[in-house]
A and B are shown apart, each in its own frame.
Chain A
Amino acid sequence: MTDTGSGVPPPEEFRAEARRWLASVAAPRADAAAWGTGTDSVAVFENWSPEEEREHTDRIRGWERLRYDSGWGALAFSPDVGGRGLPGHYEHLYRSEEAAFEVPRRTEVFPVTQQLIAPAIAIWGTPEQQTRWLPPMLRTDELACQLFSETEAGSDLASVRTRAARDGDGWRLSGHKVWTSGARVATWGAAVCRTDPDVPKHAGITVFLVRMDAPGVTIRPIRQMTGGESFNEVYLDDVVVPDGDRLGPVGQGWRVTQTILAAERLDSGTLGLDNAAAALELAAHLDRPLSGAERDRAAQLFVRTVVQRALGLRVTATLAAGRQPGPEASVGKLHATRTLRETTDLVAELLGPQLTADTGAWGTFAWTEHLLGAPGYSIAGGTDEIQRTILAERVLGLPREPARGAAS
């Protein structure tokens, strides 16, 4: 591959090379001819047993390892940890090519490991931590989950109560975390802990990477409203963590947390697009003409998907120009959660009673998984309301609520 002198291949050449490699290891994605056959799953959160979760995780892992070993993983990371040192948007370029091939669809713990935790380690980790953690995480040999929310610290995440107390050269962690996806398959959990209860709440926080198989870690599944168990609660009962597994300085954990949450917002831009496209396919393949109202709703959903894709391309373009994305990135999650809702609205209109009782017909009752899963993303990763407050205060610069934070 020729390059521009800085070791960075031109985008078109990079994409062509990616296509060639993908074609040599994967089959092209099945097209419209496949409508009505194959899987009709549109689950937002998978309903898997622990065995199934392990099995699927291993299959995805197999693909991610091949990618990493072939030089197509960890594109934006430094060569020291197995990366290519390419600009951030090359990952988006690669993904847009990968979308045309049949490869395992990544479950949430994979982007959490590769797009959220690993970049935070690259920013906040010591050289030793980067050497120790990044290669196995980027190769997905070791997955990482988020130990963030607690029952009393949801939207107000900075009020976490999980305690980390010094004990000799290390720390002892005690507390109760909720809504952790991937806890059963993860090697590491990034835990937001309180190390100093006597300072203002944002200043007393430190982040640790906890081994999920350490003594004192107990994982219990949470059954969500879809009926499945995609999340867990994690009990930390006097868990010993060496100081070498602390990520970032003591008392600076809120900034580390913000790094991870910002990456989470950025990563949610494409959320809901696959299912919106599937709903439009349903509209196109219905065995009767659409009513005016149905056609309107479908066209409106199509408008949303085009706008959401264009928003995503603007983020890519901004990164490509070497600039930090602005509002176009922070509005992505709110845009995506509305796409999820309007997909449900369209499908309900199209399917009518077939959405309420399983007739066995392909691609009908399966949509209940979307209907019941979609509300989750308006809560996870910062509720829609928290997202609006972030936009209003940090992007638009509106005045803060006067009373907030006064009690802490």
Chain B
Amino acid sequence: MSTIAVRAEAGDAGADRRAEAAGPEAMRRRGIDVDPALLTLTSEQEELRGIVADFVAELSGPDDVRRHAAFPGGYDPALWRRLARELGLAGIAIPAEYGGAGGSFTDLAVVLQEAGRGLLCAPLLSTVVLATSALLASGDERTCRQYLPGIADGSVVATLAGTAGRAGSSDTGARREAAGWRVDGTYDFVLHGATADVVLLPAQTEEGLGLFAVDGNAPGLARSARTVLDPTRPQAALRLADVPATLVGPPDEGAAIVDLALDIGRAALAAEQVGAVEHALHACVAFVSHRHQFGRPIGSFQAVKHRLADLLVELEGARSAARYAAACVDAAPAELPVAASVAHVACSEALELAAREYVQLHGGIGFTWEHPAHLYVRRARADAVLFGTIGRHRARLAALIGIGGRELEGDAARD
């Protein structure tokens, strides 16, 4: 776990104390030990939020989203370059030595929340979160130098395969030849997999599971885009036959790297989900305040307003869980597995409720193709199973706090 420790030490001086405090008993009884200040936005983050929100509102409205999703890669490459270069969003949490802004994950979470609010079509989760986290977690400086500057300036789109559990990958294998590594196997449900410039993937080596980087146009790599439930987040199936690859990190660290990248991915997904819940709630409040039936706004009926109050309760709970998970990525790595699973459960459930209410409280208009509500239904259901279902995360939490259950850790990669 040496590579993980690199990241943990970078966190803060209290990490040792927290690692000790995060045993099953302590997690069960106390649950949380982070600086409360990390759960609220700084004034700089508020400013960042405003800038990104304006950008998303102007260039990624509901009609734009449909147009962007129809691009071959599922996003508008020109818009992505602007986001990366003008706003510096792609490199916000990448260390300065690799061409990024050297910000924190909580900074990135602010961006993700606003992206999630507008269902922004962009390779944020695949490239900026999963692939970047895997590269940094690997501790492989040479590979980081090779890809991270390109990710930071928007010229490289990368993704991480093998994140979808048992159904996601099979028959993977890597062998060392004189000219370098060759990889075989199939990987499914790979985010932005059909168009990514580089694919990171775990494959079985003689020493264990290793992480490899494969060029998107490598000979022997067949990629087919899947028809997807959520058109704003494309997925692809990859088949590799004797594909040249580069080993990333030690040949037995793949599982640990993917596990950490997945937990960071869950924290990122949670931030996006909070933005989407907020959008749905505000859209519903605006609609029921103006829509009249029986001679009064339908929002004045208690049956309607209490449903929205319940959604507000879920939103604030989800926001708290998402901020806690983001804070753990930066400052409490020992608590991250628990925080990531808690955030995944809380935020997935909140967004599923929000999407349901989005349709229901808009009545007939909410059930039409033209209305954006179904885009949020699609996002909600797809997100909830993207990095492990709610049920599997509950089982993982049960194991982490010592009440039975089964660890999820590693099975994404090892299954």
Contact partner of A398 among B37, B289, B339, B397, CB < 8 A? B289
Q: How many A-B residue pairs have CB under 8 A?
A: 167
B221 at the interface (CB under 8 A from A): no
Contact partner of A280 among B289, B300, B403, CB < 8 A? B403
B401 at the interface (CB under 8 A from A): yes
Q: Which of B51-59, B84-92, B247-255, B305-313 contacts A (4 or more CB under 8 A)?
A: B305-313
Distance between Cα atoms of A402 and B305 in the complex (Å): 13
User: Given A299-B398, A307-B342, A398-B300, A388–B310 Cβ distance below 8 Å?
Assistant: yes
Residues of A within 8 A of B30 (CB): 309
Contact partner of A311 among B289, B300, B316, B342, CB < 8 A? B316
Contact partner of A393 among B305, B323, B403, CB < 8 A? B305
User: Given A320-B37, A392-B308, A310–B285 Cβ distance below 8 Å?
Assistant: no
Contact partner of A302 among B25, B28, B39, B304, CB < 8 A? B28
Do A313 and B288 touch (CB < 8 A)?
A: no
Within 8 A of A (CB), among B61-88: none
Residues of B within 8 A of A31 (CB): 25
B32 at the interface (CB under 8 A from A): yes
The distance from the CB of B106 to the nearest CB of chain A, in whole angstroms, is 12
Residues of A within 8 A of B40 (CB): 314, 317-318, 321
B299 at the interface (CB under 8 A from A): yes
B29 at the interface (CB under 8 A from A): yes
Do A320 and B36 touch (CB < 8 A)?
A: yes
The distance from the CB of B414 to the nearest CB of chain A, in whole angstroms, is 22
Residues of A within 8 A of B324 (CB): 306, 310, 313
Q: Which of A246-254, A290-298, A359-367 contacts B (4 or more CB under 8 A)?
A: A290-298
Residues of B within 8 A of A89 (CB): 36
Residues of A within 8 A of B38 (CB): 317
The distance from the CB of B31 to the nearest CB of chain A, in whole angstroms, is 5
The distance from the CB of B59 to the nearest CB of chain A, in whole angstroms, is 28
A334 at the interface (CB under 8 A from B): yes
Do B394 and A396 touch (CB < 8 A)?
A: no
Do A396 and B36 touch (CB < 8 A)?
A: no
Do A398 and B288 touch (CB < 8 A)?
A: yes
B241 at the interface (CB under 8 A from A): no
Residues of B within 8 A of A290 (CB): 398, 403-404
The distance from the CB of A150 to the nearest CB of chain B, in whole angstroms, is 23
Residues of A within 8 A of B402 (CB): 284
Contact with A along B282-313 (1 / 0, CB 8 A): 00010011000000110110101110111011
Distance between Cα atoms of A368 and B259 in the complex (Å): 42
Distance between Cα atoms of A214 and B311 in the complex (Å): 47
A226 at the interface (CB under 8 A from B): no
Contact partner of B321 among A32, A295, A298, A307, CB < 8 A? A307
Do B285 and A398 touch (CB < 8 A)?
A: yes
User: Given A280-B403, A388-B309, A296–B394 Cβ distance below 8 Å?
Assistant: yes
Closest to A316 in B: B36
Do A389 and B338 touch (CB < 8 A)?
A: no
A222 at the interface (CB under 8 A from B): no
A283 at the interface (CB under 8 A from B): yes
Do B39 and A317 touch (CB < 8 A)?
A: yes
B346 at the interface (CB under 8 A from A): yes
Residues of A within 8 A of B31 (CB): 302, 305-306, 309
Within 8 A of A (CB), among B235-259: none
Do A309 and B32 touch (CB < 8 A)?
A: yes
Distance between Cα atoms of A174 and B397 in the complex (Å): 56
Do B403 and A310 touch (CB < 8 A)?
A: no
The distance from the CB of A291 to the nearest CB of chain B, in whole angstroms, is 9
A335 at the interface (CB under 8 A from B): yes
Contact with B along A314-338 (1 / 0, CB 8 A): 1011101100000110010011000
Closest to B32 in A: A309
Do B25 and A32 touch (CB < 8 A)?
A: yes
A300 at the interface (CB under 8 A from B): yes
Residues of A within 8 A of B299 (CB): 392, 398-399
Residues of A within 8 A of B300 (CB): 398-402
Distance between Cα atoms of A356 and B78 in the complex (Å): 66
Distance between Cα atoms of A334 and B29 in the complex (Å): 21
Closest to A100 in B: B30
User: Given A299-B405, A302-B401, A314–B312 Cβ distance below 8 Å?
Assistant: no
Do B316 and A389 touch (CB < 8 A)?
A: no
Closest to A315 in B: B36
B170 at the interface (CB under 8 A from A): no
Do A306 and B338 touch (CB < 8 A)?
A: yes
A391 at the interface (CB under 8 A from B): yes
The distance from the CB of B222 to the nearest CB of chain A, in whole angstroms, is 39
The distance from the CB of B126 to the nearest CB of chain A, in whole angstroms, is 27
Residues of B within 8 A of A295 (CB): 394-395, 398, 403-405
B345 at the interface (CB under 8 A from A): yes
Distance between Cα atoms of A331 and B318 in the complex (Å): 12
**What 17 additional pairs, Cβ within 8 angstroms, besides A335-B316, A389-B309?**
A281-B28, A281-B29, A284-B24, A284-B401, A298-B398, A299-B403, A307-B342, A310-B324, A314-B319, A317-B37, A318-B40, A389-B302, A392-B309, A395-B312, A396-B281, A397-B285, A399-B299
Interface residues of A (CB under 8 A from B): 31-32, 89, 277, 280-281, 283-284, 289-290, 295-296, 298-300, 302-303, 305-311, 313-314, 316-318, 320-321, 327-328, 331, 334-335, 385, 387-389, 391-393, 395-402
13 pairs, CB–CB < 8 Å, chain A vs chain B: A277-B29, A295-B403, A303-B345, A306-B31, A307-B317, A313-B324, A317-B38, A335-B316, A335-B317, A397-B285, A398-B300, A399-B296, A402-B300
